[in-house]
Amino acid sequence: MSLLETIRQVVTPGSSYPLVRLFPNGPIGNDVGLTPGAMPGGGAVPEPQVADDGRGGSRTAPTADTFLRGAVGTANFAGFIRDLGEYNPILEGRSSFLVYEKMRRSDADVRAALLACKLPIRAADYQIVPGLKENEPGFDLAKQIADEVRENLLGGLESPTSTGCWVTQNFETVKENALLCLDFGCAAHEDLWHIDGDKVRLRKLAPRLPYTFYRYHVDDDGESLLYLEQYGYRGNNFVNVLVPAEKLAYFVNDMEGAYFDGRSVLRAAYQHWYMKSQIYRIDAISIERNGLGVPTIKQGPNVSAEDRKSAENWVKMLAAHESTGLSLPNGWEFVLTGITGRIRDPQASIQHHSEMIMRSVLANFLSLGTTQTGARALGNSMRDFFYLSLEAVSRKIDETISNTSIKRLVDYNYGVEQLKVEESNPKSKIKNPKLPYPRLVTSNIIVINPLELLEVAKDVGKFDVDLLQPDNDTENWIRKKCGMPLKSKTSRPRWAPIQTRLQEQEEGEVPVEPGAKLDKEGRPLQPGGVQESKIEESKVQGGKHGAVRAAEANSSTFNSGLPTPSPNSKSETQESVRRGGLAES
Query: What's 481-520 look like in SS3?
Result: HCCCCCCCCCCCCCCCCHHHHHHHHHCCCCCCCCCCCECC
Q: How far apart are CA 415 and CA 432, in angstroms?
A: 10
pLDDT at 164: 87
* 545 pLDDT tier (thresholds 50, 70, 90): very low
Residues with Cβ within 8 Å of residue 558, at least 6 apart in sequence: 519, 523, 531, 564
Residue ranges of E strands in 180-261: 186-196, 199-208, 213-218, 225-234, 237-244, 248-252
- Determine how β-strand 186-196 pairs with β-strand 199-208: antiparallel
Structural Rg of the chain based on CA atoms: 40
Q: How far apart are CA 88 and CA 96, in angstroms?
A: 10
* Predicted confidence (pLDDT) at residue 546 exceeds the cutoff of 90: no
Specify whether the CB–CB gap between 527 and 515 falls below 8 A: no
Helix axes 572-580, 530-541, angle to 10 degrees: 40
Q: How far apart are CA 583 and CA 419, in angstroms?
A: 65
For 465-480, what is each residue's pLDDT tens digit?
666 666 777 778 778 7
Which segment, 154-168, 185-199, 357-371, 548-562, is predicted with the most confidence on average? 185-199
* 452 pLDDT tier (thresholds 50, 70, 90): confident
For 37-67, what is each residue's pLDDT tens digit?
444 545 566 777 666 655 555 566 678 888 8
Closest CA relative to residue 102, chosen from 274, 251, 262, 260: 274
Average pLDDT on 391-401 reads 96
For 343-375, what is each residue's pLDDT tens digit?
788 899 999 999 999 999 999 888 876 666 555
Helix axes 543-559, 530-541, angle to 10 degrees: 160
Write the DSSP symbol of residue 563: P
What are the φ and ψ backbone dihedral angles of 559, each rounded to 5 degrees?
Answer: -75, -20
For 95-146, what is each residue's pLDDT tens digit?
999 999 999 999 999 999 999 999 999 999 999 999 999 899 989 999 999 9
Answer whether 0.75 is exceeded by the pTM: no
